[in-house]
Structure 1
Amino acid sequence: MRIARPRAARTFVAALAIGLVASGCASERDDDNSGGDSEVFVFGAAGDPAAIDPSLGSDGETFRVTRQAFETLIDHEPGGTELVGGLAHDWSSNEEGTEWTFELEEGVTFHDGEELTAEVVCQNFDRWYNWAGTYQNTTLSYYWQAVFGGFAENESEDVPEPNYVGCEAPDELTATITVAEPSANYPGGFSLQAFSIHSPKAIEAYAEDDPSGEGENITFPGYSQEAGTVAGTGPFQVSEWNKGNGEVTLERFDDYWGETDAGVEELVFRTIPEESARRQALQAGDIHGYDLVAPADVSTLEEEGFQVPIRGVFNILYMGIIQERQPELEDVQVRQALAHALDRQNIVDTQLPEGGVAATQFIPDTVAGYSEDVQTYEYDPELAQELLAEAGAENLTLEFCYPTEVTRPYMPAPADIYELLRADLEAVGITVEPKPLTWNPDYQETTRSGGCDVYLLGWTGDFNDAYNFLGTWFDGYTKEWGFQNDEIFDLLSEVRTEPDVATREAMYEEANEAIMEFLPGVPISSSPPSIAFSPDVNLPTVSPLTQENFAEVSFK
């Protein structure tokens, strides 16, 4: 089965050199807090990265930083979801979809001077497969477990069986990765930032510094919390992480193997959790760009001359329900009551950018497998009250978790969205107990371990296959949802191993219909997130996957 794509040329905006040497706009910024001249680009991030080793990441703020320094075997076309070459210019699989062969680019150098070879690729995958101890907690190995299953020696019943079999290097620039079963996660999974390729010297150093703790008290390995050890192949290299001030600095890597070097010498990610504060920092000239612009701020910024491109829709916001927390939540009538109680269109109208839509299922309508025949739950508070009464749950109390100190592409203002949903639930007689938690790491760990009755969360697709949404949540029991439904689990297990794309898409429609009849949670909305830049910036190509390449940035 041949699925190789030609390596797409990286898209860079013209006028790099002239803008970098002498720009009138830049000279006016020399004395401000943005870091000085046009060689420094400062971006306002919504949250701190969890680590500067992308292998340990599971959130967009981590990957936004690491994506600039680390590269994957395959990638996505600029501004789209089509798979193209990355560190591998070609790839293919056998007919069964169990052997994936990658033909690597020549002359690729890591930040520490090491060379990319097929043996290095295998060393990376074998490192993840052999993780032990705290590494097997999903806080650190979420994507490995989601895409490749468990480990060489699983240490917990909660860890899935491994699907990774091994990696071989038949020659210096050919790597073949073998899996036990085909999966809808491949080849898209090879584009995930979590599977970026690290230098062999760095991997050797990583082994001397293990994580510790369990549950909500995970301590990341020290090397992943400070610059100096990690080494990728990207156009930037991490030079400093001042965690106390929430600032990561990356420097241009002058030996970058790609066609064009980064357009600025330094790239700084400065954490500014509140959207209004990010907007004010942009308006004051303290930063040159920020993500997740509040809908109400878009027109204001554009009128002031700022650039505010809007990405395509490729995400879902939902209210998760952990059924095993209390018996009432195991009753489908109660879950239906929750769905009918929520005014999702009000969320769209008041909280999301133009182009946002109320969701009917757990994938956006831009993903193949979206069904027009799912059961829907219109806003109907009277019906919600009737269903609660029929279920004997008129006195239902829910602990409702929501995140703080973060903004997400699908959730521009978590506290505001929570307040609207809380009011909807209380309007039908439900008692809501708020449980705010800091996003990183408390919120993610608490929701994954089943620590809330209901909670707000969402997903921006990693690649364009419905399994990346549905399979992430519903291909088997997880504490994050706390239910058992063999029909849904079997459907998604079957579709996961179906090699034919057209057949898979029809099966996704069936799965969506079964999921929405069972109603494990309430899909709320999909949102086209905005990103803002100052007038003097040559923009990167914006991505529906929120995977912008800041090497494309320069100053006019």
Structure 2
Amino acid sequence: MQSSRKVSALAVASVAALVLSGCAESKRDESGTSGSSGSTSNATMTFAAAGAPKTFDPFYATDGESFRPARQMFEGLVDFKPGTADLTPGLATSWNPSSDGKTWTFKLRTGVKFSDGTPFNADAVCKNFERMDKQNEAGQTAASYWNDNMGGFNKSKTDLYQGCTAKGEDSVELKLLRPTSKFPALLGLPAWSMQSPTALEKYKANDVKAQGDGITQSEYASKYPTGTGPFKFESYDVQNKTVTLVRNDDYHGEKAKVAKLVFKIIPDGTSRKQALLAGDVDGYDLPNPVDWASLKSAGMNLMVRPAFNILYLGLNPTKNPALKDLKVRQALYYAINRDQLVKTQLPEGATVATQWYPKTVDGYSDAVQQYKYDPEKAKSLLKEAGQSNLSIDLWYPSEVTRPYMPDPQKIFQAVKADWEKVGVKVNTVTKPWAGGYTDGTSNGASPAFSIGWTGDYNTPDNFLANFFIGKQMGVTSYPWGAQLQKEITDADSIVDAGQRTAAYKKLSEKLMKDYMPGLPISNSPPAIVFGKNISGIVASPLTAEDFSTAVKK
């Protein structure tokens, strides 16, 4: 996920699992029966959240603080193995595509119920998909994950989803407009969680309305979210800034180890750290890398996730025409001392990025053109392009830390200093992350800006489509822009895994040699930290931790 929102079944790259010491990984078999590790307790686990959730309906969620509690309450048809980006059964025990990749058949778990007692079956699955697809105008704006990944609503000519058919009680067919590498991994994201059809209808979940520049949702999204997960919703206390979930004692799998899970909203990073050290909370996400050593020294359980993200500089020629020249873009890249930036500004384990997704993603190419730090080469290219006096507005966000960008200001300062060494005049622009930065960059208002992405699942399309099919990079202003977007869609539509990987390798090479619409900077391993009395949680490269396995001593 990038700003606040946004695995192929045939070929999936595994990411190493990291397990918090002291407890074996919990496992569920295909029938959903409990494993043998640990037992339940009456304990309450409190996790410090950086912000308030915007919604408890994951279909409309776009931010990590909404997704985190949603993952504890809801499940999708597919899931990801703990600690990896590999697919594993969720509410479906198996799945098979047709030979053309446009029809997928899912075999469903039996004996599963939503937390309100509604049976989970094929009819419930189809009601969920029809609900997702049939959105009013405001709902289509709010459901950005569906819009970005499906490309349309109401079975339109651009809508990947073309229908759901129940085949008895425990099997469904999903029909697609075209084959896509997104399937079935896409269905493991919170936005595609299965929700109780009874609750969705009773509390009018699709009653979404535009209000000024924002969106208002029904009471379902704030009071009655209903899934099949190991926790269920109890309350959201706005005044005390706490979200409370309780154990779902009727859960079909292994029951949550703690009886209650509380998310306490503490916006300030230093305050979250102090609350953990004081024992007021049991964990928080994205501790500042400068605090890692002191947290470890204090006995805290700090886990560093595998790097499954990318930091990059977006370049938008619609806001600075000089950027249309490939030599200028190459010069800006040669001018950045990425090795030094990674060494001084990013945590241990971070690496210099050479292309648009991490090495663990299929389609990564070792043959891409390299751009080693070379300020003299940068000056020469700027001179050849007639841009020796180039001036550029460079944006960076305030009031935020991201997995790929722990200290945005310091990263900005490093890039600014490097560009100024080769004669580029850098004009500083900073905006709060949630106060104009993400909206401005997403809508193409910035000529150059720091941004990034944590993968949702393990396909190149999850990275490339989010970067280059949209407004923020101004790709369509290039003469090759439409061609690039077509190549991304064409590669995603290849059914054969080997042919698809080869196409993505070729595309990676073209992106770094001929297209170069932006500048990949680094891949960085983010951390999550818990108190010394918490064990059993598996760190996720997708930042998708399951808290039901947490043991509190």
TM range (shorter): 0.7 to 0.9
User: Residue 550 of structure 1 aligns with which residue?
Assistant: 547
Task: Return the alpha-carbon distance in structure 1 between the equivalents of residues 382 and 85 of structure 2.
Answer: 42
User: Residue 384 of structure 1 aligns with which residue?
Assistant: 378
User: Residue 60 of structure 1 aligns with which residue?
Assistant: 64
Query: Taking structure 1 as reference, are residues 246 and 467 closer, same or farther at Cα in structure 2, changes over 3 Å only?
Result: same
Matched, 1:421 2:435: no
Task: Return the alpha-carbon distance in structure 2 between the equivalents of residues 112 and 422 of structure 1.
Answer: 55
User: Residue 251 of structure 2 aligns with which residue?
Assistant: 256
Offset, 1:169: 0.7
Equivalent residue in structure 1 for 2:463, among 469, 474, 482: 469
Query: Taking structure 1 as reference, are residues 106 and 519 closer, same or farther at Cα in structure 2, changes over 3 Å only?
Result: same
Q: How does 1:143-182 map to 2 (within 5 A)?
A: 143-152=145-154, 161-182=158-179
Task: Return the alpha-carbon distance in structure 1 between the equivalents of residues 9 and 81 of structure 2.
Answer: 19
Task: Return the alpha-carbon distance in structure 1 between the equivalents of residues 235 and 315 of structure 2.
Answer: 40
Deviation per CA, 1:466-489: give whole Å up to 9, x if none: 222123323xx4212112324422
One-letter identity of the residue aligned with 2:473: W
One-letter identity of the residue aligned with 2:228: T
Equivalent residue in structure 2 for 1:241, among 226, 231, 236: 236
Matched, 1:529 2:526: yes
User: Residue 93 of structure 1 aligns with which residue?
Assistant: 97
CA contact (8 A) 1:3 1:91 kept: no
Matched, 1:489 2:485: yes
Matched, 1:72 2:61: no
Deviation per CA, 1:142-199: give whole Å up to 9, x if none: 2212322201287xxxxx8112111111212212110011001111111111101111
**Counterpart of 2:311 in 1: which secondary structure?**
strand
One-letter identity of the residue aligned with 1:464: N
Matched, 1:281 2:279: no
User: Residue 458 of structure 1 aligns with which residue?
Assistant: 452
User: Residue 123 of structure 2 aligns with which residue?
Assistant: 119
Offset, 1:71: 0.8
Task: Return the alpha-carbon distance in structure 1 between the equivalents of residues 419 and 11 of structure 2.
Answer: 50
Query: Taking structure 1 as reference, are residues 492 and 167 closer, same or farther at Cα in structure 2, changes over 3 Å only?
Result: same
Matched, 1:506 2:525: no
Equivalent residue in structure 2 for 1:444, among 435, 438, 442: 438
Q: How does 1:357-372 map to 2 (within 5 A)?
A: 357-372=351-366
Please, what TM-score do these two structures have when normalized by structure 1?
0.88
Report sequence identity in percent: 39
Residue segments in structure 1 that go unaligned for 5+ positions in a row: 22-38, 155-159
Residue segments in structure 2 that go unaligned for 5+ positions in a row: 1-7, 13-28
**Counterpart of 1:532 in 2: which secondary structure?**
strand
Query: Taking structure 1 as reference, are residues 341 and 275 closer, same or farther at Cα in structure 2, changes over 3 Å only?
Result: farther
Query: Taking structure 1 as reference, are residues 343 and 50 closer, same or farther at Cα in structure 2, changes over 3 Å only?
Result: farther
**Counterpart of 1:47 in 2: which secondary structure?**
coil
Query: Taking structure 1 as reference, are residues 352 and 220 closer, same or farther at Cα in structure 2, changes over 3 Å only?
Result: farther
Task: Return the alpha-carbon distance in structure 2 between the equivalents of residues 342 and 268 of structure 1.
Answer: 43
Equivalent residue in structure 1 for 2:348, among 344, 354, 367: 354
Task: Return the alpha-carbon distance in structure 1 between the equivalents of residues 267 and 278 of structure 2.
Answer: 17
Please, what TM-score do these two structures have when normalized by structure 2?
0.88
User: Residue 511 of structure 2 aligns with which residue?
Assistant: 515
User: Residue 130 of structure 1 aligns with which residue?
Assistant: 134
User: Residue 327 of structure 1 aligns with which residue?
Assistant: 321
CA contact (8 A) 1:320 1:521 kept: yes
User: Residue 15 of structure 2 aligns with which residue?
Assistant: none
Task: Return the alpha-carbon distance in structure 2 between the equivalents of residues 440 and 57 of structure 1.
Answer: 15
User: Residue 406 of structure 1 aligns with which residue?
Assistant: 400
Equivalent residue in structure 2 for 1:191, among 168, 173, 188: 188
One-letter identity of the residue aligned with 2:116: D
Task: Return the alpha-carbon distance in structure 1 between the equivalents of residues 240 and 416 of structure 2.
Answer: 33
CA contact (8 A) 2:115 2:227 kept: yes
**Counterpart of 1:270 in 2: which secondary structure?**
strand
One-letter identity of the residue aligned with 2:187: F
Offset, 1:222: 4.6
What value does the CA root-mean-square deviation take over the aligned residues? Answer: 2.6
Query: Taking structure 1 as reference, are residues 302 and 376 closer, same or farther at Cα in structure 2, changes over 3 Å only?
Result: same
Task: Return the alpha-carbon distance in structure 2 between the equivalents of residues 116 and 535 of structure 1.
Answer: 38
Query: Taking structure 1 as reference, are residues 406 and 223 closer, same or farther at Cα in structure 2, changes over 3 Å only?
Result: farther
CA contact (8 A) 2:91 2:109 kept: yes
One-letter identity of the residue aligned with 1:480: Q
One-letter identity of the residue aligned with 1:253: N
Deviation per CA, 1:452-477: give whole Å up to 9, x if none: 11222211112222222123323xx4
Equivalent residue in structure 1 for 2:106, among 102, 105, 128: 102
CA contact (8 A) 1:3 1:92 kept: no
Query: Taking structure 1 as reference, are residues 527 and 4 closer, same or farther at Cα in structure 2, changes over 3 Å only?
Result: closer
Q: Number of paired residues? A: 524
User: Residue 341 of structure 1 aligns with which residue?
Assistant: 335
Offset, 1:246: 4.3
Matched, 1:393 2:387: yes
Task: Return the alpha-carbon distance in structure 2 between the equivalents of residues 467 and 418 of structure 1.
Answer: 28
Matched, 1:480 2:477: no
CA contact (8 A) 2:31 2:110 kept: no
